């Protein structure tokens, strides 16, 4: 199936589009002259100028010009068919773009690397780089570049027979290139070829017939040939081999086209001639193919020879530059050393004369100043010590006072809590006595009203809201003592917590027994059980342990 030669066109555009970006006139002149010489085929002169521009850009720290120099050196080796050397310079320009420049330079390098891989038939690698360039081109002013990258992606997917994916990218390319008629025509031409790959032959044939009259300029010669070869393929598939041969001869008339393209034309003529049993014409086409193949081989050998010769010349040039730079650097160092030495000697002499005049006076002044400074330092040290001592005593007094106030405040609040606990206990005893009297009276003389009163009084006894408030207030006064205790000993029950609260308020066993409505003996045993629960030893007091939590 006929391919589409779009990589080179896009590649040249991207490289040349970077040339206007310069900051320094001399470097710009070198780059422009180098690119012009390369386009004229003067590769030795071109590489010499570009290498010189590269060195100057490095010296000046001009990353934009350095990028352009590296990119065009890569293009130079690309044209000389030295792919390894070209890839090395493209990658170097890519690193500069990532570290020092914006995304527009980065995508340029990615696209160029992709083209290099595509021409080496490493299409998977080419797609990887084309895709990165395509994804980077997101700004509105980069629509043209994005369209070009889309064409390259479509071409790469076409070459690996992924026609559906290629179709998606060519649709995107047409959308992005609608404002540029030249590149739009290239994209439309590729779309026509792609339609044939998608088996839409009738639509492809009509599309090609519409496009050919629009591609009359010489720069579209390669594109015309690809369209004609596709049209010939369609005719051949429709069993119209004679028409296919006529179209192939028409393709031979297109100028200017490169040798590889002419080889494709003769290859199709040879195939179609054998199908029509016209072996003489097939033999003539085969002779032309062999001649072109040998010519291409000789041309590549010649270019490879030129590339090696240019490398040698550049190496000599770089060696001469290095030697010249080293000689100049050595001379500069000698001048700097002599000038620095003379200056130092003069300064030392002047300094010695001045030093001899003022040394004695300086000694006296220094000694007097040192004595005065020492005296002032001693006085200042004494004052600082006295001040620190006074501040320390004040802080100690203040701390003791705060501790005493804090202690009194806690004791006062705990006394309030004790009084409240005793009040609640006495209130409950009183309610129990009233309930007992009412129950006796109700037994003698039953009354519904008395029964309701008894029930309400019992509900008061059952309500533990007061105890909850009491425990909450206790915990606030004693800064979360109960919370810390519960967290540390989760095996303590509610009665244990109540007992500990009363004990911490310095209530006696008798008072605690009265509040909790148990005997003093039971109160003592509860204390022992709590001590075991929290694993106190025999000699450790419960109150002391609580004070340390």
Contacts of 37 (CB under 8 A, 6+ apart): 43, 45, 46, 49
Residue boundaries of the structural domains of the chain: 1-199, 467-549
How much is the pTM? 0.54
CA neighbours within 13 Å on the CB side: how many for 305?
6
pLDDT, position 384: 86
Cα separation, 248 vs 225, in Å, equals 9
CATH: 3.90.1640.30, 1.25.40.10, 1.10.3720.10, 2.60.120.20. Which one for 1-199? 1.25.40.10
Tokens of 124: 């998977």
pLDDT, position 503: 86
Cα separation, 27 vs 70, in Å, equals 13
Contacts of 16 (CB under 8 A, 6+ apart): 35
Cα separation, 476 vs 343, in Å, equals 81
pLDDT, position 202: 95
Cα separation, 270 vs 289, in Å, equals 9
Report the CATH number of the 467-549 domain: 1.10.10
Per-residue pLDDT tens digits for 219-269: 889 899 999 999 999 999 999 999 999 999 999 999 888 888 899 999 999
pLDDT, position 460: 67
Cα separation, 140 vs 135, in Å, equals 13
Residues of the chain with pLDDT under 50: 5-24, 463
Contacts of 8 (CB under 8 A, 6+ apart): 115
pLDDT, position 414: 67
Cα separation, 402 vs 159, in Å, equals 89
pLDDT, position 25: 54
Q: Other C-beta atoms within 10 Å of 89: how many? A: 23
Exposure string for 179-200, b = 16+ CB within 10 A, e = fewer: eeeebbbbbbbbbbbbbbbeee
| Cα dihedral 474→477→481→486 (10° resolution) | 40
- Residue 534's nearest CA partner among 495, 504, 503, 496 is 496
């Amino acid at each position: 199936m006929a391919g589409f030669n779009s990589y080179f066109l896009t590649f040249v555009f991207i490289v040349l589009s970077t040339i206007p970006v310069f900051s320094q006139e001399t470097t710009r002149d070198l780059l422009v002259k180098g690119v012009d010489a390369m386009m004229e085929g003067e590769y030795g002169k071109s590489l010499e100028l570009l290498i010189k521009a590269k060195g100057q850009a490095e010296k000046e720290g001009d990353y934009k010009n350095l990028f352009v120099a590296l990119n065009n050196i890569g293009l130079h080796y690309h044209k000389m068919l030295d792919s390894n050397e070209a890839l090395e310079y493209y990658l170097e320009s890519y690193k500069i773009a990532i570290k020092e420049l914006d995304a527009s330079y980065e995508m340029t390098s990615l696209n160029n690397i992709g083209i290099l891989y595509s021409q080496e038939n490493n299409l998977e690698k080419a797609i990887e780089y084309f895709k990165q360039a395509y994804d980077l081109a997101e700004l509105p002013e980069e629509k043209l570049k994005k369209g070009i990258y889309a064409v390259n992606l479509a071409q790469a997917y076409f070459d690996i027979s992924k026609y559906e994916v290629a179709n998606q990218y060519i649709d995107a390319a047409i959308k992005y290139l609608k404002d540029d008629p030249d590149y739009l025509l290239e994209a439309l031409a590729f779309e026509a070829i792609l339609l044939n790959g998608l088996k839409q032959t009738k639509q492809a044939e009509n599309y090609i017939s519409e496009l050919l009259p629009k591609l009359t300029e010489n720069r579209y010669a390669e594109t015309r040939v690809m369209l004609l070869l596709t049209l010939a393929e369609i005719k051949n598939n429709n069993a119209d081999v004679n028409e296919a041969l006529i179209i192939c001869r028409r393709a031979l008339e297109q100028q200017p086209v490169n040798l590889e393209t002419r080889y494709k034309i003769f290859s199709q003529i040879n195939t179609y001639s054998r199908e029509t049993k016209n072996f003489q014409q097939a033999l003539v086409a085969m002779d032309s193919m062999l001649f072109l193949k040998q010519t291409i081989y000789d041309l590549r050998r010649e270019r490879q020879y030129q590339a090696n010769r240019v490398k040698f010349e550049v190496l000599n040039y770089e060696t001469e530059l290095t030697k010249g730079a080293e000689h100049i650097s050595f001379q500069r160092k000698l001048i700097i050393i002599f000038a620095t030495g003379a200056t130092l000697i003069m300064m030392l002499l002047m300094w010695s004369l001045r030093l001899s005049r003022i040394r004695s006076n300086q000694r006296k002044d220094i000694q007097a100043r040192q004595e005065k400074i020492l005296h002032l330092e001693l006085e200042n040290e004494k004052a600082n010590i006295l001040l620190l001592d006074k501040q320390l005593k004040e802080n100690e007094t203040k701390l003791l006072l705060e501790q005493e106030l804090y202690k009194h405040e806690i004791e006062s609040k705990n006394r309030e809590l004790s009084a409240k606990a005793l009040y609640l206990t006495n209130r409950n005893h009183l309610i129990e006595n009233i309930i007992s009297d009412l129950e006796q009276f109700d037994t003698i003389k039953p009354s519904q009203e008395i029964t309701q009163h008894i029930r309400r009084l019992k509900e008061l006894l059952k309500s533990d809201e007061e105890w909850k408030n009491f425990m909450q207030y206790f915990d606030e006064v004693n800064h979360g003592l109960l919370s810390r205790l519960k967290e540390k000993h989760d095996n303590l029950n509610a009665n244990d917590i109540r007992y500990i609260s009363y004990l911490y308020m310095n209530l006696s066993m008798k008072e605690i027994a009265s509040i909790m409505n148990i005997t003093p003996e039971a109160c003592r045993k509860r204390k022992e059980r709590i001590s075991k629960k929290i694993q106190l030893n025999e000699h450790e007091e419960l109150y002391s342990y609580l004070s340390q939590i």
